[in-house]
Every structure is written in structure tokens, then in C-alpha cells.
Amino acid sequence: MNADALRFLDRYLGVPLCLCFTFLRWVAGPFQSLKTLSTPRKVLVIKLSEMGSTVLAYPALAELKRRCPHVELFFLVFENNAPIIEALDLTTPSNIITVEMESMSRLLTSGFAAMARLLREQIDTTIDMDFFSRFTTLLSFLVCRGNRVGFHRYTNEGLYRGNLLTHRVMYSPHVHTAVAFMALIRTLFEKPDDEPHYRGRIGTEELVLPRHMPAPADLQSIRDKLRTAGVPDGNDHTLILINPNSSDIFPLRRWPIENFAQLCRQLLDAMPSCRLVITGVASEAKDARYIKERMQQNPRVVDFTGRTNFRELLALYSLASLMITNDSGPAHFASLLALPTVVLFGPETPRLYSPLGDRHRDLYADFACSPCVSVYNGKESPCGENRCLKAITVEKVLDEALSTLKTATPIGRTDLKSNG
């Protein structure tokens, strides 16, 4: 199913269902006591989509585990989001419950199976990290009779999803997404009626990511694949990753593919020893072919789309010196390996979605209309032409790339390579 179909269902089916269950909760209220637990035991984290923002949730989830060392974490995610949960090593693979979205039938079948599993687990706490999704709120209410933490609109217009939470957090569009996620966890340990939540400072020094160390087998595998593709071992060349893709949920985040092609040509000219590796999933191979055709099939440009699994992709990041990418998941994955990145923002803002850490340079034209998407409009922009991204010139990206390679020593490249 595509993103528009999911938005349609969430709005036109989710709103009346939230209203009905809110009414039922109100009717049953006098006959029920508020069952909130100060020490949760089985916690379900709902983060269906957006692999990149899942990385931003890590500091919050690490705090939960620090506060409750014996907590058992469960995750509910779309199937393609599961690999990042496994890589973050927050729970056992058996506790990652997936929902398929290839079709309506698979969505329903896998969704009901997931709900049945969660009911059997007797979840006592849910943390809903999907911004204002009605169905995730409904799911929290149906599978959990204890703590239910999530974002609530309070006095904001739109995005109604009923009153089904025990801990309602006021979403602020002015703080980084990692801070918003941390507010969810902090609220779990507050008094539920002390609203609005969360009223407290969350400093950037608290938003720390783990350092991912690729397994030796993954490093060896990626070295073999690079060698087969014509990229030799050794330190006599600079490996630069090019990610011209972004999620199909929001294609406006893509810098023009023609610009990526021009950038690759200028990088080849400016750095005779560099090798360019174009990354992406198999369905994104069209962009890689376009770039290679513009390079007259230059052997220093390698199409790596669809050639790696997720753990091999992280191993590839550990061997590179730089990545140039649209605002998308890979920018955040790179932060797990301290890979320097140049990230191109437009319809969304780095103020909310910049990767964590200090190894990235964010390019943003800062148009008056940008960001044109937010959690309040379901990330559905009225814009049909991303002039904000087109305003970022090839020359500017090239300058940032060369400056990054010159001034930023790639932390950890050597020690990561030694694991192979």
C-alpha cells in the first residue's frame, strides 16, 4: 500500500473509531480505576515507519532501560523497519513484531496477527512514537490496560485521535525530534494528571547514540563485494558514498538527480583518487544508472544499489570517508558509525531532523515556506516543485564535501577496519 492510502484510512476510518472508543472509555470511567505502573515490566514501543527517526529514538529508549533495567521491550514496526531495531540492539529479535504493508490483505492479516501476539504478551505499557497516528493510538488502547504514553493535541487544531492515553504529551514543533521522543519517556515517570507533559529541560548532551561496530563477517562480505565491483582494498583511494534517494513516503526530499550527476563528475575531477559508490535499495537502481550513464560508465563510479543487506550497509559506512545524502534514513544510520555526512534539507528542517552528533554538515536554503511538511499535515505537502532543494547548488555541496574531507579526520575508520 502507498502512503496516500494509509493516510486516507488513518483519517477517515481512524477518526470515527477514536471517537467511539473515547466515548466507551468515558462511559466505563466511573467503574474503572486508573491502572498506571511506576515500574513497567513489559513495554511496547510503536514506531511503524521512518527508519531514520528510529535512530533518533535511541537516547530515549536507552534512558527507559537505565531507569527500568529489568524491563522487557517489544517493538511494533513495519517489516522494512525491523533491521534498524535489530542493529540498535535494544531487544531480542523475537520481540520485534512486524506488520506488512504490500497490500491491504497483508496489512490486515499481519496487523491482526500482531494484535493477537501483543494481547498474549500482556503488555503493561505502550510508548506510541508515531506522531498523531490514529491507528497506533487505537492499538495502544486495545492491547494495554496500564500506561499508555503518546502525543496529544491539547489545544492545537486538527489531528484528533481521541482521549485514549493515560500519559498525554504535548508535541512541540520547535524542538528536535530526539527531544520529543525523550519527552515521551520522561512523561512515563510523571504523575499522569500533572498536565501538560512534559514540562522540563532536555539537553542535547543527553542525546547520545551508541557506536555500532560491524561484525567481522559483514566487513569481509562488503570488502569482497567492493572488490568484485572494481573498488580495490587499501588506503590509496578515498571512498565516498552517494545516496540520491529518499523514502517514497515523501519524494519531495530528493535533490534533483541531475545535480547528483554533476556533483559526481566534479568530485571525480577534484579528487583523482576517489571512488564513488552509489547506495540504495534495488528499486532505486534507476537513479544509479542515470548517474553512471552521465559518467560514461566511468569505473570509478560504482552502482551498489540492492547489493547489501542492512548490516552490510552499515559495514560499508565504516569503510567510507564521506557520504552525501538527501534528508533520509542513511543520514541517521551514518551517525551510528561516526561517518562524516553532507545532508541536503528542504521540505523538512534540520532543526527537527538533523542527525545526532557532530559529524554532519546540513545544507538548508531556509525558504520562507520551508518546512512545508510536519506531523500536523501528515507530511503531505501542497508543493509540487521542491525549489528549496534546487536552491542548494552543486558548487555549494562540492565545497562542503571537500571541506569536510579536508578538515574532519574520519573518527574510527582505522579501528573499524581492523575488525575485518
**What's the mean per-residue pLDDT of the chain?**
90
| pLDDT exceeds cutoff 80 at 234 | no
Environment class of 84 (CB within 10 Å of its CB; exposed 0-12, middle 13-18, buried 19+):
buried
Compute the average pLDDT of residues 288-307.
92
In this prediction, residue 413 carries a pLDDT of: 47
d(CA 338, CA 321): 10
In this prediction, residue 377 carries a pLDDT of: 83
Cell of 247: 523514502
Q: Torsions phi, psi of 176, nearest 5?
A: -60, 150
Q: Which amino acid is at 127?
A: I
Between 128 and 37, where is the model more confident? 128
Helix/strand/coil percentages in the chain, nearest 5: 45, 15, 40
| pLDDT exceeds cutoff 70 at 293 | yes
Compute the average pLDDT of residues 236-249.
84
| pLDDT exceeds cutoff 90 at 102 | no
Q: Is 259 helix (H, G, I), strand (E, B) or coil?
A: helix
| pLDDT exceeds cutoff 60 at 411 | no
**Helices H / strands E in the chain, number of each:** 17, 12
| pLDDT exceeds cutoff 50 at 324 | yes
Residues contacting 318, CB < 8 A, separation 6+:
214, 219, 337, 339, 412, 413, 416, 417
In this prediction, residue 417 carries a pLDDT of: 42
